[in-house]
Structure 1
């Protein structure tokens, strides 16, 4: 976890939203001119936008002069994101790189250990104002927020719904195709770095269909989403301790996909693999030209999140298994990484998939509490088994790593084993050899050390190894009896080395040493308070901690109340009932917000018979979001949703429906519309 010392003027506010108050040190705003917020129950709601994709949204303009932190210019490490009037996120930089020609800035919520922000930017760094395409995703634990580019200088800010289940259809093994003639491309490029040799780099080609392009808003928009998907996948591999990374080697539009196939399904997946079938026929040639080990097709629709082939034992003979299709609408829910996990041999959780295929132990996981579900798990399986919230987190399975105090899996050879990180260490080597790399595919290491020995530690904002041209951020944390004194990079004093946070421009393998000296180690106090009725339990229970200590807090609402979210030094810090903090130099103020449960959700049916099930029982409080499933009785099918009598959005899969309803100041009536299966009428709209 990176902790930085923020000086006046070093904070940039990327969003100015309505009545959000921006601290005095925030000298500029990347986004301004924000329209009033649109919520689900507003008259301006679109039935397809809400219930299926967004809880609320608003629009804003980019302010070009405030983009310096994202462009890597200046000394600023911290960025403010006022997303909504009640939602401001303060993030500290962890890395900076380029994906598909786009600047990618990643950070974490300042003071936390696992709440990530990923920003993509095309234009904006070239001195030509007005050409900025800015996008972002906020992985806070619980609710998920996104910024999507609408056009040059314009964005949409949204709170995404929790509808994240994959619900993948069954698929037959891929067709056999001729092996690529790799000998035509000559010897592999000479690697510049050797430090990352133990980590496999999978080169990926991502193509997108006409429907995906239309849903995203254009080529730039869908390509920004692809860059974000690749970055989130690499983050998941890194924080999970998996020795695999993915590199985007080419992005291409597909023109030859008919509308009937332009959705997640076995027909499109099969067509992507099959040459000379007049559907996506350019893919095999592009794969060979760019040396792509793996191919993903981004498509449209919301019937399924994605679909991918699962080789039981990846080898040169399974190169035709290296294909997936992913819904554009599911990228924000980590479906790109989920399907890539299938290509690496991973399966779902044991509730969803009781009979696990080999490689055994490469499967999804969720704790008995149901607090969360891992990337390869289905949230629906987690909810059936635990009745918990089960929100998907951007972590693969590894029993030797934890997420908010709980292990991320179960050891191999033990009951309910789940350790995809261990399995990927072997399978990724085979997948990364499906095609010969066309450019230097080495990953670079930044080896960290401290002097004198045992005087402290160095934390990486994003664990390595790193692709060339990445800027990685590190922080030094002293042990008791020591204070930070400076940095050495490759044996020489580092520029700007008096700051306890350090940016390293990765151009080769490097060694970074944090220097400490004897002194009084800083201690910091985390003050905790509650708004509403409830309490906060801290672990450990000390009043003050040394810099670098990790603390876990849990919010416990009083009867009749709900936990609504955390505020840390003025920043939103997620709405999961636990939050993990990393103590910095300065005192920290943590606030738990509780809301009274006073809203009801009246579930009704019309036009036929069926069963409606809410993910959580009422009553509900302001800010709650509940998912509801409609299952038709025999002889009926689900057709639509009505919220408070008006058409409403959601998913329709295999004649059943799912949607999400949020609450703010009042309750709702949700009606599921059914019809007889023999009736040819498909919708009330």
Structure 2
């Protein structure tokens, strides 16, 4: 479901297996500077729900606008879907899109190229984004693209466990809502990873993986990608959490799959990347 303008919505059934979170060349960066900094300031970081709000600035391309139709309604849906996923997982944190604007950036067709481009504040579109981020005190920056040039991938985060300077990510229009790639990429910035079956990396958290349900009711959490054939299913608005069940099935495990804990532990730090009135 996506806004179609003038209060209308477009509803289309798209199989999850037709959507690819990251292309075949996917690799993840890990912001170890952020990890070390966090470990050195543990006493100041909440390990329970912070009640904070992650503020987000969104830059969108011409192609995104053409595909999305009603951009303000689309932004509302991004917020709603993400915040419902937090509430479903008993995470007392929310996101708020504090500003959305059209960027003149010409889509490259590769999120890797885009990521490198927006890592360099000498480029005009990057400079604009960073300056608007400061103006609107946004903790996180998201760039939304159209679909045609990015059919092989749904999005890409700058890094896993972002610092203030690396807290940006990309998603395309057809995945950001419905498939929850907007939330998924923010999850990477917070420190969440994919499923343990395909991503055995234990940094920055051993318990930071997504979860594939193993019963016939089949579903998977927001961070779950490429589940084994005998488990998983459609992505739902749940973050892995061993304390939450669906029809009696746990939505995570305490040792490997607890993204809700990841969000709780990082919320205080990320919501303070930008404080209103400061940069």
Taking structure 1 as the reference length, the TM-score comes to 0.35
1:348 CA drift (Å): 0.5
* 8 Å contact kept, 1:205–1:248: yes
**What are the superposed Cα offsets for residues 652-685 of structure 1, whole Å, 9 maximum, x if unpaired?**
xxxxxxxxxxxxxxxxxxxxxxxxxxxxxxxxxx
| Corresponding residue number in structure 2 for 1:375 | 222
**What are the superposed Cα offsets for residues 338-394 of structure 1, whole Å, 9 maximum, x if unpaired?**
00100100000011212332122111011323611111011x2232xx2x4611111
| Corresponding residue number in structure 2 for 1:407 | 250
Give the one of 40, 54, 61 matched to 1:202: 54
The ranges of structure 1 where at least 4 consecutive aligned residues each deviate by more than 4 angstroms after the TM superposition are 171-174
Distance 1:172 1:349, change over 3 A: closer
| Corresponding residue number in structure 1 for 2:264 | 425
Aligned residues: 255
Give the one of 88, 103, 121 matched to 1:254: 103
* 8 Å contact kept, 2:58–2:100: yes
* 8 Å contact kept, 1:264–1:326: no
1:161 CA drift (Å): 3.4
Give the one of 215, 218, 241 matched to 2:67: 215
Distance 1:429 1:369, change over 3 A: same
Mapping 1:546-625, distance limit 5 Å? none
Distance 1:155 1:422, change over 3 A: closer
C-alpha distance in 1 between matches for 2:202 and 2:222:
16
| Corresponding residue number in structure 2 for 1:435 | 274
C-alpha distance in 2 between matches for 1:400 and 1:389:
19
**What are the superposed Cα offsets for residues 231-275 of structure 1, whole Å, 9 maximum, x if unpaired?**
1101101110123211111111101x124x2x4512212322321
* 8 Å contact kept, 2:89–2:241: yes
Mapping 1:247-286, distance limit 5 Å? 247-255=96-104, 257-259=105-107, 261=108, 263=109, 265-286=111-132
Give the SS at the match of 2:13: strand
Distance 1:419 1:389, change over 3 A: closer
C-alpha distance in 2 between matches for 1:429 and 1:161:
36
Mapping 1:177-196, distance limit 5 Å? none
Say yes or no: does 1:235 pair with 2:84: yes
C-alpha distance in 1 between matches for 2:221 and 2:145:
24
Distance 1:403 1:154, change over 3 A: closer
C-alpha distance in 1 between matches for 2:62 and 2:29:
25
C-alpha distance in 1 between matches for 2:211 and 2:188:
14
Give the SS at the match of 1:349: coil
Taking structure 2 as the reference length, the TM-score comes to 0.83
Mapping 1:261-410, distance limit 5 Å? 261=108, 263=109, 265-301=111-147, 302-312=151-161, 318-331=163-176, 332-369=178-215, 371-378=218-225, 380-383=226-229, 386=230, 388=231, 390-410=233-253
C-alpha distance in 1 between matches for 2:29 and 2:19:
24
C-alpha distance in 2 between matches for 1:322 and 1:344:
9
C-alpha distance in 1 between matches for 2:193 and 2:9:
36
**What are the superposed Cα offsets for residues 407-446 of structure 1, whole Å, 9 maximum, x if unpaired?**
010013xxxx21111122111111111111249xxxxxxx
1:154 CA drift (Å): 5.2
1:155 CA drift (Å): 4.7
Larger strand fraction of residues: 1
1:211 CA drift (Å): 1.6
Distance 1:436 1:264, change over 3 A: farther
**What are the superposed Cα offsets for residues 444-486 of structure 1, whole Å, 9 maximum, x if unpaired?**
xxxxxxxxxxxxxxxxxxxxxxxxxxxxxxxxxxxxxxxxxxx
| Corresponding residue number in structure 2 for 1:632 | none
**What are the superposed Cα offsets for residues 174-218 of structure 1, whole Å, 9 maximum, x if unpaired?**
8x9xxxxxxxxxxxxxxxxxxxx831211111110112112223x
Larger helix fraction of residues: 2
C-alpha distance in 2 between matches for 1:153 and 1:237:
26
Mapping 1:32-181, distance limit 5 Å? 146=1, 148-149=3-4, 151-152=5-6, 155-162=9-16, 163-168=18-23, 169-172=26-29
C-alpha distance in 1 between matches for 2:29 and 2:244:
34
C-alpha distance in 2 between matches for 1:368 and 1:156:
32
* 8 Å contact kept, 2:2–2:68: no
Structure of greater relative contact order (alpha carbons < 8 Å, 6+ residues apart): 2
C-alpha distance in 1 between matches for 2:207 and 2:8:
45
Distance 1:156 1:345, change over 3 A: closer
Give the SS at the match of 1:284: helix
* 8 Å contact kept, 1:311–1:321: no
* 8 Å contact kept, 2:213–2:232: no
Distance 1:156 1:347, change over 3 A: closer
1:224 CA drift (Å): 1.9
Q: What value does the CA root-mean-square deviation take over the aligned residues?
A: 2.5
